[in-house]
Amino acid sequence: MPRDLTPWRGKRDTSVPPKKPDVDAAPAPQDATLPEPAQPAPAPAENAPALTDVGPKRKHSGLTETIAVSGARTKVTPPWADLLKPPTTPPASKEALLNDPLPAELPFENLLKDKLLLAAPRLGIPGRACPALGGIVLVKKIGQGGMGAVYLGFHPRLQTQVAIKVLPFLIAERRPEMIARFEREARLAALVRSPHLVQVMDLNQEEGLHYLVMEFVAGCSAENYLDLVRENGAKGLAEKDTLRIAIAATKGLAAAHAAGIVHRDVKPPNILLPQEAGVTPRFDEAKLADLGLARGAPSGAAEAGTPKLTNSIDTMGTPGLMAPEQAFDIKKAGPAADVFSMAATLYMLLTGWAPFTGETNLQILTATAQKPHIPIRDQRADLKPGTVEVIERGLQKEPSARYPDGAALLEALQKLG
């Protein structure tokens, strides 16, 4: 006889315990099986966010997305996560550092949040974790430019300071030709040996970061020193100091030209002056840095035709300090273009201004190509005639009217010294 499934509406009599089911009894017919009672939903955890069934909902949190669908929460990794993924600490490198102490006087900065170094491995040292490349601890950022940033590094095995130039990974990913340009800089610089050129020590890549290890010059740039002098009320550097800097830097330039290399970005920030704290820089030991725009010298003269001026500064040099022909076609800029830039650098160190100025890069380039500069004698009446002559000849718009290369300019400068 089938069971009565009518709901009980009266008071249930609990005085008689319910009869235990007979385990040997035959199973009830299929149509008489009672449905399983619905289980109550578990109580939400305290402070848990409410989830609804109205479509998928995404919540971004750094490297993952939390997706809520029909009450279920799932974490997925978006395709761009690898670009931001924090690196892990290589145990072997950490162990190596523990055996190689670091000097207590290193000026550490917190570089763990430096966007350029997010992918760099971390090395553990007592009291801190530091980004590192090739086992070299990165201490602080000392420069930033279009081709990346430069960091002070410490080589724990060699117990020496170095400079590391890092190419941004987004540039390397989106513009592969920049990697070739970056590597070319290293190889060109390694070809030349001179005490007046910053030496390249290594070229490598790690975790997608391409980097260059270079000699570290403790001191300041010629631009930094000019700023300090102007803050003290002077218009520019003393003539004698300027010539000492120019002779030393031109020695490096002449060595590059002898190796068939054109620098293409000679300027005060790229002239480094060795200096100890509280002491005047050693001008006679100045070094020419950053061959980032360097290339082999062109084999012939510029071809005939009408040049087209451009205001793209990405691969050209520095407006106001670079030669007119370099603005037209950088590939045809020869050693005489570096002579122009060195003369413009002397002009700037003596006066505080570049010889050609304007409100935009295009205006500056146009002035460089078409307008005369203010004669340096009008800016500094105290200069010797020989100094004025060297600078004015170096700033001629026609390459053939200048000194042909760094060696010829160096000879003229040394006669002044």
CATH H-level, domain 83-215: superfamily:
Phosphorylase Kinase; domain 1 (3.30.200.20)
Q: Is-contact 146 172, C-beta < 8 A? A: no
Lowest average pLDDT, out of 149-153, 167-171, 388-392, goes to: 167-171
Residue 328's pLDDT band (boundaries 50, 70, 90)? confident
Q: Is-contact 268 348, C-beta < 8 A? A: yes
**Higher per-residue pLDDT: 92 or 172:** 172
288: which DSSP letter?
Answer: E
Strand partners, 206: 209
CA–CA separation, 197 vs 263, rounded Å?
Answer: 11
Q: Name the strand (E) or helix (H) holding 169.
A: helix 169-174
Instruction: Reply yes or no on whether the pLDDT at 285 is more than 80.
Output: yes
User: How many C-beta neighbours within 10 Å does residue 245 have?
Assistant: 25
**Domain boundaries of the chain, sorted by first residue:** 83-215, 219-301+308-416
- Chain centre distance of CA 369: 31
| pLDDT single digits (tens) 14-54 | 444 555 545 454 454 444 444 555 555 555 555 544 444 44
Q: Is 43 exposed, middle or buried (0-12, 13-18, 19+ CB in 10 A)?
A: exposed
| pLDDT single digits (tens) 145-164 | 767 789 999 998 888 999 99
Residue 179's pLDDT band (boundaries 50, 70, 90)? confident
CA–CA separation, 194 vs 263, rounded Å?
Answer: 14
Strands (E) in 135-276, as ranges, are: 136-145, 148-155, 160-167, 200-206, 209-215, 219-221, 261-262, 271-274
Tell me which residues are annotated as active site: 265
The pLDDT value recorded for residue 79 is: 44
Q: Do domains 83-215 and 219-301+308-416 have the same CATH topology?
A: no
**Higher per-residue pLDDT: 403 or 296:** 403
User: How many C-beta neighbours within 10 Å does residue 64 have?
Assistant: 14
Strand partners, 219: 274
The pLDDT value recorded for residue 76 is: 47
Which residue type does 137 have? V
CA-CA-CA-CA dihedral for 226, 232, 237, 239, to nearest 10: -170
The pLDDT value recorded for residue 91 is: 40
Lowest average pLDDT, out of 101-110, 181-190, 275-284, goes to: 181-190
> Would the pTM count as exceeding 0.85?
no
Instruction: Reply yes or no on whether the pLDDT at 5 is more than 60.
Output: no
The pLDDT value recorded for residue 145 is: 73
The fold of 219-301+308-416 is Transferase(Phosphotransferase); domain 1 (1.10.510)
CA–CA separation, 151 vs 146, rounded Å?
Answer: 15
Highest mean pLDDT among 68-72, 277-281, 333-337: 333-337
